[in-house]
């Protein structure tokens, strides 16, 4: 195939055989978020480049090398959103809906774009579900975010495969003091650091903690620890969070090296990680960002949130074979009609049944065809039952009702009784 007719590398189609899992996942999450009182917000996919520079920070991987940035026809610099928090903060400020301390518990879903090296679990267009809460500054809401993800893993049957990692980055003052101590220590070991870390030491020193380089990791063993620099307020906040997780019985591990890639976090940071997907193991990540709204031009407004990667969670469901069987069956009943008169009667009958059973997944054969070919299609559709309208059935005003998955013999049902009969044998979603 010529190159221009292929999808862009790292940007995937989600094919009809894959969409049932996606819809199952998205449906489960959105129902859960409704139940916890979160409201959906939808932002544009494109924003001014400046928004991401200002919120995410100039010296982050995302802004330095991962953004899809272009000039539009007016000469404005625009960027395909690499994440959702920036646009969400922009939107709440633009519409004033966090003003006067109004609490907002919001969620969003959609594609994000980052120019990374595509590999399993890492793509250039990928999808996130994210939550952001504004104007609540206590550990209770941090805990709620974690509790609801814990429930989600339970509902999806993947709880045993994910582990919660926690850290506190302190307030910006205590982080500032820690940063100084870290820079002093690392500068004394400058020659033993890898090149990336040497660069980060100047631009974003906390990110050195995140390094994958073994030599740098060895240097870090004796480095100052964030925990020793936490101010009293952050310490109390962190204890409050841990007490709540303990109360619910959610296990966690403290990871002092967890700093997250983005500049704007403070106090709580967390990640849910799995060892079932290889290197791309973080399925959900977030934390508190009390300084962000102010940094973006608003009044000081506490915030906390997270984002989960849908591709990675779908991969995890597939890897662990935790996909309920019924989600891939998309047809309950398949109607076969033979001859024009039967087709007309069948169409009208199908609509009457749909009036009475709006959730029934009823497929009417299209494209006519012989007895054999229509039955083949009925079977292939995955339907549990076939309805048959031939000359005999037309004469008696009945429909043949044939179980396709081996539950009994074919029987005749009067047209008027069909909906009631179907209601007794098909469990409707
Ligand atoms: P990573 O360390 O894996 O690059 P990140 O810290 O850049 O992740 P976040 O910005 O916190 O990721 O995004 C939240 C979640 O979105 C991640 O935990 C992951 O599940 C998912 N995610 C991030 N980048 C990608 C990507 N390129 N492809 C697929 N999923 C992604
Ligand atoms: Mg990344």
83 lines ligand 1 (CB under 6 A): yes
Burial class of residue 395 (count of CB atoms within 10 Å of its CB; 0-12, 13-18, 19+): exposed
Q: Is 311 in the pocket of ligand 1 (CB under 6 A)?
A: yes
Residue 407: band (very low, low, confident or very high) from pLDDT cuts 50, 70, 90: confident
Whole-number Å distance, alpha carbon 124 to ligand 1 midpoint, is 11
The reported pLDDT for the residue numbered 324 is 93
Q: 85 C-alpha to center of ligand 1: Å?
A: 13
Reported confidence tier of residue 261, pLDDT bands at 50, 70, 90: low
pLDDT of residue 375: 94
pLDDT over 80 at 197, yes or no: yes
Q: Can you give the pLDDT at residue 259? A: 84
Q: Is the CB of 109 under 6 A from ligand 1?
A: no
The CA distance from 106 to 98, in Å, is 11
Residue whose tokens read 């506490």:
302
**Ligand 1 binding pocket includes 307 (Cβ within 6 Å):** yes
State residue 2's pLDDT score: 61
Q: What is the per-residue pLDDT for 3? A: 62
Residues 106, 205: Cα–Cα separation, whole Å: 32
In this predicted structure, the answer to whether residue 1 has a pLDDT above a threshold of 60 is: no
Higher-confidence position of 163 and 205: 163
Do residues 108 and 41 touch, judged by C-beta distance below 8 A?
Answer: yes
57 pLDDT higher than 90: no
- Residue 389: strand, helix, or coil: strand
pLDDT score for 351: 98
pLDDT in tens, 116-136: 999 999 999 999 999 999 999
The number of beta carbons lying within 10 Å of the beta carbon of residue 114 is: 20
d(CA 70, CA 372) in angstroms, rounded, equals 56
Q: Which of 52, 34, 250, 62 is nearest to 142 (CA)?
A: 250
Q: How confident is the model at residue 426 (pLDDT cuts 50, 70, 90)?
A: confident
Which residue lies with its CA nearest to atom 24 of ligand 1? 122
* Residue 176: predicted pLDDT: 87
Beta carbon of 61 within 6 Å of any ligand 1 atom: no
The pLDDT score that the predictor gives to residue 328 is 80
Local confidence band at 141 (pLDDT 50, 70, 90 cut-offs): very high
- What is the predicted pLDDT for the residue at 173? 86
What is the distance in A from the centroid of ligand 2 to the CA of 261?
7
Q: What is the pLDDT of residues 156-176, one digit of tens each?
A: 999 999 999 999 999 888 888
- For position 343, what pLDDT does the model report? 97
| Ligand 1 contact, 10 CB (< 6 A) | no
Look up residue 253 and give its two tokens: 């591990």
Average pLDDT over residues 1-13: 86
Residue range 402-413: mean pLDDT, rounded: 91
Interval 207-249: pLDDT, tens: 898 888 899 999 999 999 988 999 999 999 999 999 999 999 9
Q: Give the mean model confidence (pLDDT) for residues 16-22.
A: 95
- Please name each of the domains of the chain with its CATH number: 19-171+231-319 (3.30.930.10), 330-428 (3.40.50.800)
Kindly give the number of the ligand 1 atom that is closest to the alpha carbon of 82.
10
Indicate the top mutation candidate among 204, 282, 305 to test ligand 1's pocket, ranked by most ligand atoms within 8 A of CB. Answer: 282
Q: Under DSSP, is residue 92 helix (H, G, I), strand (E, B) or coil?
A: helix
Q: What is the overall mean pLDDT for the chain?
A: 94
Ligand 2 geometric centre to CA of 263 (Å)? 13
User: How many CA atoms lie within 13 Å of 359's alpha carbon, on the beta-carbon side?
Assistant: 5
325 versus 98: which is more confidently predicted? 98
Which ranges in 278-361 belong to alpha helices (H)?
292-295, 310-319, 340-356
**Strand ranges (DSSP E) for 103-155?**
104-113, 125-134
Ligand found nearest the CA of 282: 1
């Amino acid at each position: 195939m010529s190159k221009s007719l292929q999808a862009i590398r790292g940007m995937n189609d989600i094919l009809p055989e894959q969409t049932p899992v996606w819809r199952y996942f998205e449906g489960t999450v959105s129902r859960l978020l409704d139940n916890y009182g979160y409201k959906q917000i939808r932002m544009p996919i494109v924003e001014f480049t400046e928004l991401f520079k200002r919120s995410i920070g100039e010296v982050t991987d995302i802004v330095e090398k991962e953004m899809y940035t272009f000039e539009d026809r007016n000469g404005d610099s625009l960027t395909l959103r690499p994440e959702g928090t920036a646009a969400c903060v922009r939107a709440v400020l633009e519409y004033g809906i966090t003003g006067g301390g109004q609490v907002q518990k919001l969620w969003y879903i959609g594609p994000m774009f980052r120019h990374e090296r595509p590999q399993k679990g890492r793509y250039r267009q990928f999808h996130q579900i994210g939550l952001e809460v504004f104007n609540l500054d206590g550990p209770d809401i941090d805990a709620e975010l974690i509790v609801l993800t814990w429930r989600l893993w339970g509902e999806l049957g993947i709880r045993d495969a994910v582990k919660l990692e926690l850290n506190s980055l302190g307030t910006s003052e205590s982080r500032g003091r820690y940063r100084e101590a870290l820079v002093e220590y690392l500068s004394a070991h400058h020659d033993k650091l890898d090149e990336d870390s040497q660069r980060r030491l100047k631009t974003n020193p906390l990110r050195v903690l995140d390094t994958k380089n073994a030599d740098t990791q060895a240097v870090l063993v004796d480095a100052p620890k964030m925990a020793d620099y936490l101010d009293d307020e952050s310490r109390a906040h962190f204890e409050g969070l841990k007490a709540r997780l303990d109360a619910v019985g959610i296990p966690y591990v403290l990871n002092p090296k967890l700093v997250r890639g983005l500049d704007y976090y403070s106090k709580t940071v967390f990640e849910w990680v799995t060892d079932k997907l290889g290197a791309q193991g973080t399925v959900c990540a977030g934390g508190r960002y009390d300084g962000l709204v102010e940094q973006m031009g608003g009044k000081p407004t506490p915030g906390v949130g997270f984002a989960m990667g849908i591709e990675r969670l779908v991969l995890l469901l597939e890897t662990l074979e935790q996909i309920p069987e019924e989600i891939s069956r998309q047809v309950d009943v398949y109607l076969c009609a033979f001859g024009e008169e039967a087709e007309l009667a069948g169409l009208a009958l199908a609509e009457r049944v749909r009036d009475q059973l709006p959730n029934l997944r009823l497929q009417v054969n299209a494209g006519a065809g012989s007895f054999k070919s229509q039955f083949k299609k009925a079977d292939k559709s995955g339907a549990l039952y076939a309805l048959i309208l031939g000359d005999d059935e037309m004469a008696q005003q009945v429909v043949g009702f044939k179980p396709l998955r081996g539950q009994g013999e074919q029987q005749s049902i009067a047209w008027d009784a069909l909906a009631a009969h179907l209601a007794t044998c098909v469990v409707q979603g």
